[in-house]
Structure 1
Amino acid sequence: MIATDLRTSPTRVRAVAGERADAAATGPASLAALADAGLRVPVLGGGTVRHVNLDVAASAPALDAVVQHVARVIPYYSSVHRGSGYASQASTALVEDARVTVARHVGARDDDLVIFTRNTTDALNLLASAVPGDTVVLDLEHHANLLPWRSRRVVVGRTTIAETIDALRDELGAAPVALLSVTGASNVTGEVLPIAELAALAHEHGARLAVDAAQLLPHRRVDLAAAGIDYLAFSGHKAYAPFGTGALVGRADWLDVAPAHLAGGGAVEAVRLEAVEWKTGADRHEAGTPNVIGIAALARALDELDRLGDGPRREHEAALTARLHEGLADIPGIRVIRGFDDADDRLGIATIELERGSVGLIAAALAAEHGISVRAGRFCAHPFFDRVASRANGLRASLGAGSSADDVDRFLSALAGLVADGPAHAYERTPAGWCPRVDDRPLPVIG
Structure 2
Amino acid sequence: MRIASALTTLLLSLSASLLCAEPTAPTDWPEFRGPQAQGHSAATGLPLYWGPSQHVVWKAPLPGIGWSSPVVIGDRIFVTSAVPVGGVETATADRSLRALALDAATGKTVWDVELFKATSPRAHRKNSHASPTAVFENGKVYVHFGHLGTACLEAATGKTVWATQEFAYSPVHGNGSSPVIVDDLLIFTADAESDPKVIALDKATGKQRWAFARQSTAKNKFSFCTPLLIEIAGQKQLITPGSGVVNALNPKDGTEIWRFYYGDGYSVVPRPLFAHGIIYIATGYNKPSVLAIKADASNKGDVTETHLAWSIDKAAPHNPSMAVVGDEIYFVADNGILTCADAKTGTVHYSERCTGPISASILAADGKLYLQDEKGLGVVLKPGKTYQVLASNDLKERALASYAVIGSDLLIRTEGNLYRVKK
Return the TM-score normalized by structure 1. Answer: 0.23
Which of these two proteins has the greater Rg computed from alpha carbons? 1
Answer 1 or 2: which has greater helix percent. Answer: 1
Return the TM-score normalized by structure 2. Answer: 0.24
The structure showing larger relative contact order (alpha-carbon pairs under 8 Å, at least 6 residues apart) is 1
Answer 1 or 2: which has greater strand percent. Answer: 2
